[in-house]
Amino acid sequence: MRVLVLGQGKTGKLVAEVAAERGHSVHVLDAKENANASALTPPFVAGFDVVIDFTSPEAVVQNMKAVLATGAKMVVGTTGWYDRLQNARELVERKQAGLLYGTNFSIGVQVMLQLASKMGELLKSAGYKFSIEETHHVTKLDSPSGTAISLSEVVKRSTGIGEVPITAHRVGDAAGTHVLEAKSDADKLVLTHESYSRRSFAEGAVRAAEWLSTRTGCYDFQDVYSQM
Ligand SMILES: NC(=O)C1=CN([C@@H]2O[C@H](COP(=O)(O)OP(=O)(O)OC[C@H]3O[C@@H](n4cnc5c(N)ncnc54)[C@H](OP(=O)(O)O)[C@@H]3O)[C@@H](O)[C@H]2O)C=CC1
Ligand SMILES: O=C(O)C1=N[C@H](C(=O)O)C[C@H](O)C1
């Protein structure tokens, strides 16, 4: 595939590496080359089979508008933009484009989300209080993390609880730790996922791009990751 990676930061760099290792031809645009999505003209985007975005909550919205308006396919790893999801869905449908987004492309986190759902279902009538903690690097722009929000949504759905408190910590270069705790007066049950390399995010994103390359429509990685 011809892959265009937007963002040459901590994760985008690795995505480009993994895509090349998997035999794809890769072009990367950094913030200067693509200020306000200026590089993403229809003829330029048409030169790629899929675009992968690991930029910022602000940049990704402009990038999605430009790419999806051409009817192209786009994998979005960037978090912190989900209040615009409905707009993106409408654009995808109108243009018969392809969008696959995910708060976390690590398979370990996807399994944690499934375990969290089961944990909520089994404990919902047993008087447990749920809470979430996440720890990331100090340069992270969004808070709480997209993954923590996904975890809280899963627990709310499976328990019927209205709110699950999230505490965010910013420490050094932490790649991302998520902890879900269910606590009663007598005991606690804890689920923890710790990333100590960003490689699993990059591998998940490239697999997602391969999967999306033959499809149109809008997909959450949570719903389709097991098909990859
Ligand atoms: N879904 C997942 O599995 C994961 C998601 N993420 C998310 O991905 C995003 C990026 O994370 P991370 O790699 O750590 O962040 P970084 O800050 O390391 O990288 C983002 C890069 O994007 C660049 N950028 C900004 N605007 C544009 C633009 N218009 N075009 C091209 N490049 C641009 C930035 O440049 P400059 O610094 O010059 O502005 C920066 O180099 C975050 O939202 C994060 O939450 C991260 C890891 C996993
Ligand atoms: O910014 C990061 O680093 C990460 N962001 C994602 C999130 O917001 O959940 C995924 C992962 O935790 C790393």
Q: Catalytic annotation on 95?
A: no
37 Cβ contact list (under 8 Å, min separation 6): 59, 62, 63, 65, 66
Q: Catalytic annotation on 140?
A: yes
Per-domain residue ranges of the chain: 2-105+199-227, 107-194
Say which amino acid occupies 41.
T
Per-residue pLDDT reduced to its tens digit, 169-218: 999 999 999 999 999 999 999 999 999 999 999 999 999 999 999 999 99
Q: What is the mean pLDDT of the chain?
A: 98
ipTM: 0.99
Identify which of 6, 17, 55, 219 to mutate to test ligand 1's pocket (most ligand atoms within 8 A of the CB).
Answer: 55
pLDDT of residue 165: 98
The CATH fold of domain 2-105+199-227: Rossmann fold (3.40.50)
- Integer Cα distance of 67 and 205 in angstroms: 17
Per-residue pLDDT reduced to its tens digit, 16-35: 999 999 999 999 999 999 99
pLDDT bucket at 118, cuts 50 / 70 / 90 = very high
Give DSSP secondary structure letters for 173-228. T---EEEEEEE-SS-EEEEEEE-S-SHHHHHHHHHHHHHHTT--EEEEHHHHGGG-
C-alpha distances (whole Å) from 19 to each of 76, 187, 200, 202 are: 15, 45, 13, 8
pLDDT of residue 216: 98
Give the ranges where 40-100 is alpha helix by DSSP (H): 42-45, 57-68, 85-95
CATH for 107-194 is 3.30.360.10
Burial of 136 (0-12, 13-18, 19+ CB in 10 A): buried
Look at ligand 1, atom 35, and give the residue with the nearest C-alpha.
31
Structure tokens at 217: 């429509």
pLDDT of residue 129: 97
- What's the mean pLDDT in 53-79? 98
Identify which of 54, 142, 193, 224 to mutate to test ligand 1's pocket (most ligand atoms within 8 A of the CB).
Answer: 54
pLDDT bucket at 120, cuts 50 / 70 / 90 = very high
- What's the mean pLDDT in 160-170? 97
CA 133 / ligand 1 centre spacing (Å)? 22
